[in-house]
Amino acid sequence: MLEELKATGEAALADIAAAADGAELEQLRVRYLGRKGELTLLLRRTGSLPAEERPAFGQTANQIKKKLEAALAQAEASLAGRAQGPAVTAGVDVTLPGIKPRRGHLHPVTQTERAILAIFERMGFTVVEYPEVELDWYCFEALNMPPDHPARDMQDTFYVEEQVVLRTHTSTSQIRVMENTPPPIRVVAPGKAFRRDSDATHTPMFHQVEGLMVSEDISFAHLKGVLIDFVHQFFSPEVPVRFRPSFFPFTEPSAEVDIGCVVCGGGGCRVCSQTGWLEILGSGMVDPNVFINVGYDPDEVTGFAFGMGIERIAMLKWGINDLRMFYDNDLRFLRQF
């Protein structure tokens, strides 16, 4: 019977060590130490032993009982600790570096816009912003685009009302700033523009930066100096720049500015359509009709203006071939900037 007692004790200890939770421990307490528990029943049989064996048996039984009670209490405490989570479990190395929370950053279009503006601000230009919903006057009429001008075609322009449009370009800012301020003027105006267009190089909403400098004796040489300096600061001092004659209703003469292809270095590739050049902006000397429309005297002042697409410049800078990626909000794309 003494052997049976010891075996029962061993089995009970093993069961307690393997218990997974408090409920299981309670079951074990009942099974071994309860009123009809295995150990309890063995103890009741002490009387059936020969008298000289009884004290040793009783002593051993009490020791085993105490051991089991202690083991149950300890198992209970350690299971309760584990339930609170790993922080209180021994073995956590608190000197290891923590998990870094992910930080957001500015959208690549915003980053590009700010980089462009910073260069012009260093040249003394002031940043101004004007409405995205505009009167026909600011978007077309005052910019020397009469009512039958093709740029007003319903294909291109979002109309809110007959005389109210979503601005198709930031050139509206030229009129807005000049009608409110006497010359001299030196501003850059960033913002959204809208056109009914959607493919790999056009989105219905895009961003532009407009520039305007007006004073006495501003010449095409000033235009060239400012824009060449801008290109060299934004892209690199080695990039070739050329001015190609063009037409815009609100400038005369007009020029588009090309830079040597940043992908192939001028040799000709798919991005520059084998020409070696990439167009980056439109510019020109402010048309005298525009000055008249804002109440300036074209015999007193001259000026130049320019406008560039921010997404287009960002695409060239980073070699992105689909404009729509800026607006898909795919984090795998955005996290690269």
* Residues of span 182-211 touching ligand DAH by CB under 6 A: 210
Smallest distance from the beta carbon of 317 to ligand DAH, in angstroms? 19
Q: Which residue has the tokens 């300096």?
A: 229
Helices and strands (H, E) in the chain, number of each type:
11, 10
Figure out which of the listed residues 152, 169, 186, 207 binds ligand DAH, where binding follows CB under 6 A. Answer: 169
Contact 71, 64 (CB under 8 A): no
**Pick 157 or 171: Cβ nearer ligand DAH:** 171
Figure out which of the listed residues 19, 25, 307, 316 binds ligand DAH, where binding follows CB under 6 A. Answer: 307
* Residues of span 229-288 touching ligand DAH by CB under 6 A: 248, 251, 282-284
Cα–Cα distance, 328 to 232 (Å, whole number): 31
What's the Rg (C-alpha) of the chain? Answer: 41
# residues contacting ligand DAH (CB under 6 A): 11
Written as one string, the DSSP assignment of 50-90 is -TTTHHHHHHHHHHHHHHHHHHHHHHHHHHHHHHT-GGGST
Full strand arrangement of the beta sheet holding 277-286: 126-127, 185-194, 205-215, 302-309, 277-286, 251-260, 241-248
Stretch 287-306: interaction string toward ligand DAH, x if CB under 6 A? ------------------xx
Stretch 112-131: interaction string toward ligand DAH, x if CB under 6 A? --------------------
**Pick 223 or 239: Cβ nearer ligand DAH:** 223
Smallest distance from the beta carbon of 168 to ligand DAH, in angstroms? 7
Contact 306, 211 (CB under 8 A): yes
Smallest distance from the beta carbon of 163 to ligand DAH, in angstroms? 20
140 binds ligand DAH (CB under 6 A): no
**Pick 183 or 284: Cβ nearer ligand DAH:** 284
**Pick 33 or 117: Cβ nearer ligand DAH:** 117
Cα–Cα distance, 93 to 41 (Å, whole number): 48
**Pick 32 or 194: Cβ nearer ligand DAH:** 194
Smallest distance from the beta carbon of 134 to ligand DAH, in angstroms? 13
C-beta contacts of 101-110 below 8 A and 24+ residues apart: 105/337, 107/326, 107/334, 107/337, 108/314, 108/318, 108/326, 108/334, 108/337, 109/207, 109/310, 109/311, 109/314, 109/326
Q: Which residues bind ligand DAH (CB under 6 A)?
A: 169, 171, 210, 248, 251, 282-284, 305-307
